Amino acid sequence: MKTVHVDLGPRSYDVLIGRGLLDRTGELMRKETRCDLPNSIETKPILVITDPSVKSHYFEKAWNSLSRAGYINLSGYDPEFTPVSEERKSLETAGKILRTLAQHRVSRSGTIVALGGGVVGDLAGFVAATYLRGINFVQVPTTLLAMVDSSVGGKTGVNLPEGKNLVGAFHQPKLVVADLDTLKTLPASEFSAGMAEVIKYGAIKDKALFDRVAKGVKPDDSDLDEIVEKCVAIKARIVEDDEFETKGQRALLNFGHTIGHAIEKATGYNTYLHGEAIALGMRAAAWLSVWQAGLPEAEAREIEASLIANHLPVTLKSEVDRAAILSALGNDKKVAVDGLNRWVLLKKLGEASSGHEVSIDNVKKAIDLLYTPISHQS
């Protein structure tokens, strides 16, 4: 088992990464959360939030492990199961769960466990952040994206009809338990989507990691623990520097996300998974880096090859509206002039910097490139 410690003073915690950990979740949590609470762990109520697919695969195993570790409910209710989806990562769902906690008179010694991907983690974290102004929270991520990104860093939140993640709070978990075995049942497209974030970490901070993942990664690869550990460590160091996103260091994590988010918005969030949109955004950002930050062309091509090796899209579907992407990026002039879009660019693989302003002509050129298959590119 690998451990990455996230050092945030009183809010510090460990991220545990390995295989077969789900079976040990209760025991691992017990160790991690027992000392700072007035009640003994045995009297701690616990609410597991998950979603239907994850429930069918893993809820029983997780719950058995929690029961074995003494997480029994003394106030007379069964572990709750709350199905969620991106549409239901909402205030309404959060309200329902909050009311359940209140009806069962759960006190501050209660714990919320998020068993699932980023949707479950964000929602469960938001509930844990707001119930009684904050109760214990444990993340058990079951998607690659959640393991390397959303379960670490303390950002929690829900969507509004007006936009994604508009309501939220910073609330760090007490522990993150990432069981790589759960990735075996993850749909292949979801695994690839998580790989987009992994490639991003390599591109912005770690050339050796980039070189490894450029060969392609599969859920049963024996070095997957090291790959996830490296990503989590990169995110942990950035979060340690800028826990509440006030200094700008966290911006590096947005490599590929400016155009990626615009693609998601322009396609109504229903054409590409987040990681797929980010893959396209990284291809664009790689060439912007060539044109404006001195990234060698050969390295931009390495990024493209890495995306392809990990089954990620590098070309936009022809029906995606170019004008809609540009408008999602904001007023054309502002993109370049007012610096509303702060771009993260690469000087070389493994070295990124933020705060770049790019010319609108180059933004348009980069988007046009996304309609061009790799083989036709000069």
Ligand X SMILES: NC(=O)c1ccc[n+]([C@@H]2O[C@H](COP(=O)([O-])OP(=O)(O)OC[C@H]3O[C@@H](n4cnc5c(N)ncnc54)[C@H](O)[C@@H]3O)[C@@H](O)[C@H]2O)c1
Q: Which residues bind ligand X (CB under 6 A)?
A: 51, 53-54, 57, 86, 89, 116-120, 122, 142-143, 145-146, 149-150, 153, 155, 164-165, 182, 185-186, 190, 274
Sorted by sequence, the CB contacts under 8 Å of residue 319 that are 6+ apart come out as: none
Q: Closer to ligand X at the Cβ: 164 or 342?
A: 164
Residue 169 C-beta: closest distance to ligand X, Å: 11
223 burial (CB, 10 Å; 0-12 / 13-18 / 19+) is: exposed
SS3 47: strand
Sorted by sequence, the CB contacts under 8 Å of residue 133 that are 6+ apart come out as: none
Q: Closer to ligand X at the Cβ: 195 or 326?
A: 195
Q: Closer to ligand X at the Cβ: 252 or 326?
A: 252
Q: Closer to ligand X at the Cβ: 44 or 89?
A: 89
Would you report the helix, strand and coil content of the chain in percent, each value rounded to 5?
A: 50, 15, 30
Residue 145 C-beta: closest distance to ligand X, Å: 4
Give the span between the Cα atoms of 288 and 297, in whole angstroms.
10
Phi, psi at residue 200, to the nearest 5°? -60, -45
Beta strand 46-49 with 111-116: parallel, antiparallel or unpaired? parallel
Give the span between the Cα atoms of 227 and 20, in whole angstroms.
17
SS3 6: strand
Phi, psi at residue 8, to the nearest 5°? -130, 45
Q: Closer to ligand X at the Cβ: 74 or 188?
A: 188
Residue 50 C-beta: closest distance to ligand X, Å: 9
Q: Closer to ligand X at the Cβ: 139 or 362?
A: 139
Residue 197 C-beta: closest distance to ligand X, Å: 8
Q: Count other C-beta atoms under 10 Å from residue 200's C-beta.
A: 31
Q: Closer to ligand X at the Cβ: 51 or 229?
A: 51
SS3 124: helix
SS3 207: helix
Residue 19 C-beta: closest distance to ligand X, Å: 13
Give the span between the Cα atoms of 350 and 130, in whole angstroms.
37
Q: Closer to ligand X at the Cβ: 182 or 289?
A: 182
DSSP letter, residue 276: H
Give the span between the Cα atoms of 345 and 355, in whole angstroms.
9
Residue 70 C-beta: closest distance to ligand X, Å: 26
Residue 121 C-beta: closest distance to ligand X, Å: 7
Residue 20 C-beta: closest distance to ligand X, Å: 14
Sorted by sequence, the CB contacts under 8 Å of residue 178 that are 6+ apart come out as: 15, 16, 17, 18, 21, 140, 141, 147, 151, 228, 232
Residue 152 C-beta: closest distance to ligand X, Å: 8
Cβ(120)–Cβ(50) under 8 Å? yes
Q: Closer to ligand X at the Cβ: 239 or 366?
A: 239
